[in-house]
Amino acid sequence: MLLINCPYCEEERPELEFRGAGEAHIARPTNLADISDDDFEKFFFIKDNDKGVVFERWRHIHGCGRFFNAARHSVSDKFIMTYKAGVAKPKLTKAQIDAVKPPAKGTPANEPVWTIEEGKK
Amino acid sequence: MTITTPNTGTNRVARKGRLSPSKTVTFTFDGKQLNAMHGDTLASALIANGIHLAGRSFKYHRPRGILGSGAEEPNALMDIARDKIRTQPNVRATTQEVFDGLIAKTQNYYPSITFDVGGINNVLAPFFSAGFYYKTFMWPKQAWKKLYEPVIREAAGLGHAPKEADPDRYANRFAHCDVMIVGGGAAGLMAAKTAAKAGKKVIICDENPEFGGWLLAEGEASIDGIPAAEWAAKTVADLVAMANVKLLSRTTAFGYYAQNMVTLAERITDHLALPDADAPRERLWQVRAKNVILATGAIERHLVFADNDRPGIMLSSAARMYLNHYGVAVGQNVGVYTACDSAWHAALELQEAGVKVVAIIDMRSNPDEQLIARAKALGIPVRTGSAVTKTSGKLRVKSMTVEPIGDHLTEKFEIDALIMSGGWTPSVHLFSQSRGKLKFDEPNGRFIPDIHVEQCVSIGSCNGTNEIDAALAEAISASNAVTGKKAGKAPKTMGFASMEGHLIGSAKGAGPDDHVMAFIDYQNDVCAKDVRLAVREGMHSIEHVKRYTTTGMATDQGKMSNMHGLAIAAEALGKEIPAVGLTTFRSPYTPVTFGTIVNHAKGDLFDVTRRTPMHGWAEDQGAVFEDVGNWKRAWYFPKAGEDMHAAVSRECKTTREVAGIFDASTLGKIEVVGPDAVKFMELMYTNPWEKLKVGMCRYGIMCREDGFVYDDGVVGRLAEDRFHVTTTTGGAPRVLIMMEDYLQTEFPDWKVSLTSTSEQWAVIGVQGPKAREIISSLVEDIDLSADAMPHMAIREGKICGVPTRLMRVSFTGELGFEINVPADYGQSVWEAIWDIGSPMGMVPYGTEAMHVMRAEKGFIIVGQDTDGTVTPYDAAVGWAVGKKKTDFVGIRGLKRPDLIAEGRRQLVGLRTKNSKVVLEEGAQIVVDPNQPIPMKMIGFVTSSYWSETLGHSIAMALVENGFNLKGETLYVPMPNETIAVEVCDPIFYDKEGARLNV
C-alpha cells in the first residue's frame, strides 16, 4: 500500500484514502464541439501509459476530496512529487528521476523472464 | 504411593533440552493418545515417541518423515483439530505447539498411513514424469471433462478443508514504528537492543513461540559468558521491560510491500488448550516502519541423493534443535551425510549425548581437521570424499550405502536416522518481495541481498553473514545507522558451530539415470531427473522449469528446494547459475489463513448495508427486500397467500386506480449551488437549463465525454442559483465524482458548490389519482392545485410541520408527488400519510411494481435499458439533448461517426404475439428464426414484465435500426420455443399523458 502526499492536506496518507483518476495534463479543449475526429480521439482515447515516469491524477476521495496530480515511476511505483491541480507540468531533473528508478539489472535474479526491449519506444 | 510423571517418549535425552518434564500434556495422533512436554511442537513430541512417519507424499504417496524443525518443513503436514468444527489441514507439525486435547491426523493416504493404496503411484513413478498431466490426458478430448478431470481432482490436493464455517474471530491492527525488526535470532535481538536503548520505537517479531532463532539449537555456545539461549531470554526480558519496544512472538512477517509496509500474522490461540473465548485466533498487523531490519536468518538445505526421502532422513539443524532445545534424540543409530560443517556439530553433540553416530559421510575431501579429530576422538567413523548413494527402509530408514566419490567400493551402515546438510540458504524472501535485488555469491553457492529498494537493511545469516561475531557487529551497526549514534559493543561469544561448506544441485548417485528418485522438492515430489527432463524438453527459463516440474510451487514455496532446482537446471542448460536466475519470491512467506486476511470483513461486516429511514415500517408490513447496490429496498409487499406476481399486480393496479406510497429515499441527491450553478448544469447535462423556471423540474440526461448515457434524473430549480439534482440509486457516487472532477480540474474558477444530500432527505412517493387528496391536509404553505402546482413543479413548504421539498413528479404516469423531508422525519411523515391514505385504499408498493409501471410508460432505467454503449438518441430520449447548446459533456462524442451511423441499436417496445408470454430479460432477438446457427442477433430484451393494468406482457429492447422496424415481426429464440414479437412504441400506457395533468 502506497503512502501518498496530498498537496492540499500537506501530509502523507495511505493509498486507501485515494482513488486514481488517470493521466494528468490532458486539457479539455475549449472548442471541444468543433474539433476533428482525430483530435477527439487523441484527447479522449489515446493515453501514454508509459513504462517509466508518468504524470497522473489522484483524488483524495476519503479525505479532503481534492483532485491533484502526481509524477510517479510506473515500474518502481515511487512518487517523485505530488502537486495541486492546475499547476503546470513540472520539469523533472535527472536527479529526481534517478532517485525513483528501479535498481539497474545487475543480475537476472528475480527478473521476469520476459523483458521489454530497451529503447523500443 | 509413588507419583510417576507420564512417559513423554523413549527418545528423550537426559539432561538435554530446556523443557520441563514436570509439565506434560496429552494429545491424539492418528487416534492414539500420546504424551508430550509443555513447549513441545507436534514434531518434537512425535520424534520423542519414536515416530518419524508423518504423512504420505503428494504425488507418489511415498511415506515421509519429519524433515526440519520449523517453517521450512515440506513433509510433516497434518490436519490439526481442536474440536469438531475447528480443524485445519496442512499444518506443519514442526510449528504446531502441542496442547492438551490437540487432535493430529496424518494426511494423503487410503486406507492407512502404513498401507496406502495410492502408493501404487510410487510403483508407477516412471510414468509420472514432469509434464505427465500435460502429455497424458490430451486425448480423447471428450474424456477430459467426464473422466480424467473428476478422477484427478478427487485424488489431488493435500488434506481436507473444514466443512463448517470458521467460528473464530480474527483481529486487525495498524502500527507505526521507527524500526521494524523481522526475526528474533541473535542478530535481530542485538539490533533491537541497540535501537531500543537509543529510544527508538521498535517492533520485533519472530515466527516461533520463543525468541532466539538458531541460538536455541546451540548446545555449548555462549554469549556474554552465559549459554546462548539464556542470553536470548535475558535480552528479551530487557526488551520487554522497555516501553518503546513491542515484541511479537508466534508472529510471521509474511509480506513486505512498498514504502516499508510489513504485514504480520500473529497466532494468538492456536497453542492454547483453553483459549479465552473472547480472544481472536489470529491478528493481522499492518506495520508502517521508518526503517526495516531484516534478520530473517537462514534455512538449511537437504542433499539431493537417491531415496533421500525416507522417514528418519532429516536436516542436521533439526537434529540439533530437537536435541538441544527439546531434549529429543532423532534416533539411536544416526548416520550423517554432509557437505557442511553444521552436520558435524550435530553429530558430535549427539554422540556426546549418548546417541550412537554410526558414521559421518562428508562429500568434501578435506573437511576441517579439527572436526575430524573431534569426531575420531569420540570414536565416530568418518568417510570424507564420499557419498550416500542408496538408502533402504520403507516406513523408516534402515540403512545407508556409502561410496567414495569416483569409486564403486560400497559400504553399508545400519541406521535408524540420517541427518544431512547441504549448507545454508539465506532467507531473502522478504528482501526480495520488497523488490530488492540479489546477487549470487559464487564461493558459497547462495543468493544474498545486493541493492535494496526500500529503507531496509539485511543482517546476520539472511545477509550471508554466518559467523556469530560478524552477525552481532552487523546488527549493532544497522541499528546505529538508524539512530545516528555510535552505541553498543558486540558481546563476547564462544563455542558457536561453523556453518562452512555447501552443495547445491545433485550429489553423487542422484542421476543422471532416469529412474533415481532423488528429491529436490519433497512437497511436490519433484526429483532431480524431472528438472533434467524439463530442460531436455525445451524449458530453458527457470520460470518454465518451475511450472513444468512444479518445483518450488508447493505451500513451502521451495524454501529448501529452490537452490537445488536452480543448480540442476543450470547444469543441464550448461549455464552459470546467475545466468539462469531465480524465480520471483511472493508473499506470503508461509501460508496465512483466510481468516486473517478476511479479518472482520465477513458476515454482516462484509459490506455496509444501507437502509432508508422508512425501512422499519416496510419490514413491519412484511415487505420482501432486494439489494440495490448497498441499499435494501422494499421489493414488494405480499399479503397473506400472495406470491410475488400477485402482489406486484395488485400494487400496480391499486396505484393506478387509487394510490400507492413508495419509498424513493435511495435516489441520489446532489445540491448544486452558486452563481455559476446554471452554467455548470449546462455543462454536466445534455439538456438546456438556462430557461428552466425557478420552481420547476426537468428530466436531465448526463453523458460521458464519449457521448454515452451515464446517468439520469429529475432536477428541480429552487432558486436562480440552486438546483436539487437527483440521480439514479446506484449512480449517486459516480455522478458526484464526475461533477467534482469537472468543477475542480476543468473549471476551477466557477463559483459552484456540490453537496451530497442523498442521506439527508427521505423521499416519499405518493402516486395515483388520489395522491393530491391524500397529502393535501398535511401540507402547509403550498397550493397543491393543478393550476398552482402543475406537473414537474417543485415547491418548498411544510408537511406535518416539517420542512419539505415537494416535487410533483411521476415515474408511474399517474398524478404523483415526491415528498422530500429531512431523513429523521421520514418515517413519521410516511406514517401520517399512511394513516390518511390507507383507509382510502392506498397501498405501499415496492421496486418491482415501480419497474412495471415505469415500463408501461416507456421510462428507461439507466443501466438496465442502457449499457454504456447507448446514446440519448439510441435510448429514444434524444429530445433531452439541447440542440442549440455549444458545449456539454458528450457534445463531441455524440458526433463521432459510429454514433451517428445508421443501424445502431435503438430502444423500442416489444409485444409478444401471444400476449400471455413474458419474455426473458437479456434474451436475444433475430429476424429469421430458421436461419442456421449461429444466428445473427440484432438486439436483446432489456426490460420485460407482465402488465396487469394492460392485460398483456410488455417489453423493451435494444434492436438494430429499431426505430424503423415498428410494426415488424421479430423472433426471440429460446431453448424450448421461438417467441414471435412485434416491434412497437415503448410507451404502452397513456401515451398522451392525460393521467399526469390532472
- Return the number of other C-beta atoms located less than 10 Å from residue B739's C-beta: 22
Sequence-ordered alpha helix ranges (H) in B139-294: 143, 149-155, 186-197, 228-240
- Reading across the β-sheet that carries B411-414, which strands appear in turn? B386-392, B399-404, B411-414
Looking at residue B116, what DSSP letter applies?
Answer: B
- Report the mean per-residue pLDDT for chain B: 94
Residue B614 forms contact with A (CB below 8 Å): no
pLDDT in tens, B591-629: 999 999 999 999 889 999 999 999 999 999 999 999 999
* Of the partner residues A27, A40, A102, the one whose CB lies closest to the CB of residue B435: A102
Confidence band, pLDDT 50/70/90 cuts, at residue B2: low
Among the partner residues A2, A44, A65, nearest to B706 by beta-carbon distance:
A44
Which pLDDT value is given to residue A111?
47
Give the model confidence (pLDDT) of B940-955 as tens digits: 999 999 999 999 999 9
pLDDT value of residue B543 = 87
In angstroms, the Cα distances linking B500 to B345, B367, B425 are 11, 9, 12
| Pairwise CA distance, residues A62 & B704, whole Å | 24
Amino acid letter for position B6: P
Q: B170-299+426-494: which CATH number, 3.40.640.10, 3.30.565.10, 1.10.1060.10, 3.50.50.60?
A: 3.50.50.60
pLDDT of residue B151: 67
- What's the rounded Cα separation, in Å, for the pair B282 and B169? 8
Q: Indicate which of A8, A13, A15, A32 best probes the interface with B, i.e. most B CBs within 10 Å of its own CB.
A: A32
Contact list, B439 vs chain A (CB under 8 Å): 106-107, 109
CATH superfamily of B892-984: Aminomethyltransferase beta-barrel domains (2.40.30.110)
The pairing of strands B261-267 and B446-451 is unpaired
Among B257, B673, B584, which residue's Cα sits nearest to residue B453?
Answer: B257
Q: What is the pLDDT along chain A (121 residues), one digit of tens a residue?
A: 899 999 999 999 999 999 999 999 999 999 999 999 999 999 999 999 889 999 999 999 999 999 999 999 998 999 999 999 999 999 999 999 999 998 876 544 444 433 334 433 3
B745/A102 touch (CB, cutoff 8 Å), yes or no: no
Q: Could you tell me if B696 and B792 are in contact, meaning their C-beta atoms sit under 8 angstroms apart?
A: yes
- Classify residue B961 as exposed, middle or buried by CB count within 10 Å of its CB (0-12, 13-18, 19+): middle
Nearest CA in chain A to B439: A107
Question: What angle separates helix B542-549 from helix B562-573, to the nearest 10 degrees?
Answer: 120
pLDDT at B493 over 50: yes
What pLDDT is stored for residue B160 in this prediction? 85
Q: Write the CB contacts of B458 (distance below 8 Å, at least 6 apart in sequence).
A: B294, B295, B296, B428, B431, B448, B449, B452
pLDDT of B137: 65
- Residues of chain A contacting residue B543, judged by C-beta atoms under 8 Å apart: 112-113
Residues 437-476 of B with CB under 8 A from A: 437-440, 447, 450-451, 453
What residue of A is the nearest CA neighbor of B438? Answer: A109
Q: For A26-30, B28-32, B119-123, B238-242, which range has the lowest pLDDT when averaged over its residues?
A: B119-123
Which is it for strands B624-628 and B939-947: parallel, antiparallel or unpaired? Answer: unpaired
- Alpha carbon distance B648, B473 (integer Å): 79
Determine whether the interchain pair B544/A113 forms a contact, defined as Cβ–Cβ distance below 8 Å.
yes
Closest listed residue to residue B656, CA positions, set B523, B767, B534, B548? B767
B119: cell is: 502408493
Residues of B in contact with A77 (CB under 8 A): 258
Query: Residue B641: is its pLDDT beyond 90?
Result: yes
Contact residues of A toward B, CB < 8 A: 1-3, 14, 21, 27-28, 32-33, 35, 37, 40, 44, 57, 59, 61, 65-67, 76-78, 85-86, 102-104, 106-113
Taking only the tens place, the pLDDT of each residue in B36-69 is 999 999 999 999 999 999 999 888 889 999 999 9
> Cell triple for residue B501?
561448506
Give the per-residue pLDDT at B144.
67
With CB atoms and an 8 Å threshold, state whether B581 touches A113.
yes
Cα separation, B978 vs B923, in Å, equals 11
pLDDT in tens, B710-755: 999 999 999 999 999 999 999 999 999 999 999 999 999 999 999 9
For chain A, what are the domain ranges?
3-28+42-100
Q: Is the pLDDT of residue B575 over 80?
A: yes
Band of residue B514 on the pLDDT scale cut at 50, 70, 90: confident
Taking an 8 Å cut-off on Cβ atoms, the answer to whether A85 and B745 are in contact is yes
Residue contact A107–B438, C-beta within 8 A: yes
Contact B982, B954 (CB under 8 A): no
Confidence of residue B72 (pLDDT cuts 50, 70, 90): very high
pLDDT tens-digit profile of B389-436? 999 999 999 999 999 998 888 999 999 999 999 999 999 999 999 999
Q: Give me the mean pLDDT over the B849-855 stretch.
A: 98
Residue B85 parent element (H or E): none
Distance of alpha carbon B501 from alpha carbon B493, whole angstroms: 21
Backbone φ and ψ for B112, nearest 5 degrees, come out as: -140, 160
Name the band, by pLDDT with cuts 50, 70 and 90, for residue B581. Answer: confident
Q: Does B259 touch chain A (CB under 8 A)?
A: yes
Whether residue B385 contacts residue B458, with contact meaning beta carbons closer than 8 Å, is answered with no
Q: Which residue of A has its CA nearest to B755?
A: A65
pLDDT grade, residue B580 (50/70/90)?
Answer: confident
Taking the domain B667-757, which CATH number applies? 3.30.70.1400
Whether residue B966 has pLDDT greater than 60: yes
**Mean pLDDT calculated for residue range B171-175:** 96
Contacts across the A-B interface (CB distance below 8 Å)? 99
Residue B856, CA distances (Å) to A19, B713, B811, B967 in order: 40, 18, 10, 18
pTM, 2 dp: 0.90
A61-75, B527-541, B666-680: least confident range: B527-541
Give, in words, the CATH class of B513-576: mainly alpha
Kindly state whether B542 is in contact with chain A, defined as any CB-CB distance less than 8 angstroms: yes
Half-sphere exposure of B564 (CA within 13 A, CB side): 31
- Inform me whether the C-beta atom of residue B258 falls under 8 Å from chain A C-beta atoms: yes
B583 contacts on A by Cβ (under 8 Å): 110
For the segment B117-170, what is each residue's pLDDT rounded down to a tens digit?
777 777 777 767 777 666 666 666 677 677 766 666 666 667 888 889 999 999
All residues of chain A having their beta carbon less than 8 Å from the beta carbon of residue B440 are 107, 109
Dihedral sign computed on CA atoms, order B303, B309, B315, B320: negative
Is B110's pLDDT higher than 90?
no
Angle at B932 between CA B931 and CA B935, to 5 degrees: 75
Bridge partners, residue A15, by sequence: none
**Residue boundaries of the structural domains of chain B:** 24-136, 170-299+426-494, 513-576, 667-757, 892-984
Rounded to the nearest 5 degrees, what angle is found at the Cα of B371, between the Cα atoms of B370 and B375?
A: 115
Structure confidence at residue B152 (pLDDT): 64
Binary contact (B578, A109; C-beta < 8 A): yes
Query: pLDDT at position B6, please?
Result: 82
pLDDT digit string (tens) for B400-409? 999 999 888 8
Instruction: Report CA Rg, chain A.
Output: 17
- Look at residue B980 and tell me whether its pLDDT is greater than 60: yes
**B745/A67 Cβ within 8 A:** yes
Question: Is residue B634 within 8 Å of B648, Cβ to Cβ?
Answer: no
Q: Which residue has the higher pLDDT, B340 or B515?
A: B340
In this complex, do B258 and A77 lie within 8 Å of one another by their Cβ atoms? yes
Asked if B369 contacts B357 with a C-beta cutoff of 8 angstroms, the reply is: no
Tell which of B431, B437, B670 to mutate to test the A interface (max A CBs under 10 Å): B437
Asked if B440's CB is within 8 angstroms of A108's CB, the reply is: no
For the stretch B858-895, pLDDT in tens is 999 999 999 999 999 999 999 999 999 999 999 999 99
**A3-28+42-100 is classed CATH 3.40.50.1980:** no
B140: preceding bond cis by omega (within 30 degrees): yes
pLDDT of residue B1: 46
Q: Is the pLDDT of residue B703 over 70?
A: yes
Domain B24-136 has CATH 3.90.550.10: no
